[in-house]
């Protein structure tokens, strides 16, 4: 009798403890994120979720994530927290389906890179907490510059300095190599335009292609049309600048941290360095574009308070340090710019550091859907 009673009490205790945890569902896109998020949720942060009384269920979405989240929010079946790509942030916030940050999440945001917070702030309120990001940086092939006996690009270079270095490489190596694959897209051109002080939208929400924009556009296109140091990626049978660079057909390229894995796999012996984007010689400023994703919270969710706590943990210093050390993404917390990872003497760490710093200096703007529609 006593044994039976003890077993019953023990079973009841297990049931009570299990029921005490609040379930929070989160969703992100598929691909490489599946392995990362599964390990982060189920191993790295498991104890933290347990202490907070949370059971976090992760859903990986293959295919068009923006369509999935739009449809599920409309149908009332969306997860409690989910990725908000900055490209679609304005649209999602305007739908009224995203919860503004509470005091605790706003406190977390104070630790983040300011430009990332601004990317998810609308009419004075912040919606979501940026989890990671990318910017554009300049990668250069050391062997090509050495062969041409031209100084490497540096963080002090202006547009004109870069142009002269590419011309010098071309003068020595001729048709053996091009200076850069010029991409006819907003993402690679935007850092130049933003460096001039040009703004994607004016106070009336319209895009004006003013004199500053024209000056940047003329510099960018003249690399191909006038200086002959640039070539279109398609003319080399490539779909992006990284492909031109990885096959050593160009001296430099303009890419984010995503090029790191590509070069590791496709060009493991290519010696490269990375700098910040060059400075506009007229304004004296740099420009850059933010590619970022935040954890957003479903305004119609049943457990908003618990979900907010889960997002705090997902964007904690512990979580971001693990992701950074794994070489998987750049952390949104500004203090992690001092991480030992960035001081390692290898091309990948140097690349990551320059991409990280790109969000901290000059005129930095997020990549929004409206701009892509106008210039993409």
Nearest CA to 284 among 190, 187, 362? 362
Please give the pLDDT value at position 234. 94
207 pLDDT tier (thresholds 50, 70, 90): confident
pLDDT tens string 70-91: 999 999 999 999 999 999 999 9
* 116 token code pair: 């990332």
269 burial (CB, 10 Å; 0-12 / 13-18 / 19+) is exposed
pLDDT tens string 92-112: 999 999 999 999 999 999 999
- Distance (Å, whole) CA 304 – CA 162: 50
Q: 3-state DSSP call for residue 354?
A: helix
Q: What is the mean pLDDT of residues 305-320?
A: 97
The residues, any chain, with a CB within 8 Å of residue 326's CB and separated by 6 or more, are 36
Residue 218 DSSP code: H
Task: Tell me the chain's radius of gyration from C-alpha atoms.
Answer: 24
- Residue 264 predicted with pLDDT over 60: yes
**Bridge partner list, 253:** 139
375 pLDDT tier (thresholds 50, 70, 90): very low
Q: What is the mean pLDDT of residues 131-141?
A: 97
Domains, in order of start, for the chain: 22-134+290-366 (3.40.190.10), 137-276 (3.40.190.10)
- Distance (Å, whole) CA 256 – CA 183: 14
Please give the pLDDT value at position 252. 98
Nearest CA to 331 among 131, 106, 120, 40? 131
Q: What is the mean pLDDT of residues 54-59?
A: 96
237 pLDDT tier (thresholds 50, 70, 90): very high
pLDDT tens string 148-183: 999 999 999 999 999 999 999 999 999 999 999 999
- Residue 374 predicted with pLDDT over 50: no
- Better-scored residue on pLDDT, 202 or 303: 303
Q: What's the pTM? A: 0.91
Please give the pLDDT value at position 222. 97
Q: What is the mean pLDDT of residues 201-216?
A: 88
Please give the pLDDT value at position 292. 96
- Better-scored residue on pLDDT, 1 or 176: 176
- Residue 367 predicted with pLDDT over 80: yes
pLDDT tens string 344-362: 999 999 999 999 999 999 9
Q: What is the mean pLDDT of residues 325-336?
A: 90
pLDDT tens string 212-221: 999 999 999 9
- Better-scored residue on pLDDT, 204 or 292: 292
Percent of the chain with pLDDT over 70: 93
CB contact at 8 A, 341 and 349: yes
């Amino acid at each position: 009798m006593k044994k039976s009673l003890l077993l019953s009490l023990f079973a009841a205790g297990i049931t009570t403890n299990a029921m005490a945890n609040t379930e929070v569902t989160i969703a992100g896109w598929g691909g490489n994120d599946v392995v990362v998020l599964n390990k982060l949720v189920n191993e790295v942060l498991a104890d933290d979720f347990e202490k907070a009384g949370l059971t976090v269920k992760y859903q990986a979405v293959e295919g068009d994530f923006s369509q999935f989240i739009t449809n599920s929010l409309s149908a009332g079946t969306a997860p409690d927290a989910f990725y908000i790509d900055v490209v679609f942030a304005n649209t999602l916030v305007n739908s009224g389906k995203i919860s503004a940050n509470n005091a605790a999440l706003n406190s977390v945001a104070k630790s983040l890179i300011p430009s990332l917070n601004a990317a998810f702030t609308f009419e004075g309120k912040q919606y979501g907490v940026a989890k990671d990001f990318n910017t554009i940086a300049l990668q250069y092939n050391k062997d090509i510059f050495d062969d041409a006996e031209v100084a490497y690009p540096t963080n002090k270079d202006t547009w004109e300095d870069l142009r002269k270095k590419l011309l010098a490489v071309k003068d020595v190596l001729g048709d053996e190599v091009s200076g850069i694959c010029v991409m006819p897209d907003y993402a690679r051109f935007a850092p130049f335009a933003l460096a001039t002080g040009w703004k994607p939208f004016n106070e009336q929400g319209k895009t004006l292609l003013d004199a500053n924009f024209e000056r940047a556009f003329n510099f960018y296109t003249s690399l191909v049309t006038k200086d002959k140091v640039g070539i279109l990626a398609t003319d080399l049978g490539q779909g992006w600048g990284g492909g031109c660079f990885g096959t050593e057909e160009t001296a430099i390229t303009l890419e984010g941290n995503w090029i790191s894995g590509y070069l590791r796999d496709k060009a493991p012996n290519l010696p490269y360095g990375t700098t910040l984007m060059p400075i506009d010689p007229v304004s004296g400023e740099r420009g850059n574009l933010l590619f970022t994703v935040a954890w957003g919270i479903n305004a119609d969710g049943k457990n908003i308070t618990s979900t907010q706590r889960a997002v705090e943990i997902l964007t904690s210093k512990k979580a971001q340090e693990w992701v950074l050390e794994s070489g998987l993404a750049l952390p949104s917390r500004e203090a992690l710019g001092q991480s030992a990872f960035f001081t390692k003497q290898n091309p990948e760490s140097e690349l990551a550091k320059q991409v990280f710093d790109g969000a901290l200096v000059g005129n930095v703007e997020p990549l929004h859907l409206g701009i892509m529609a106008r210039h993409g």
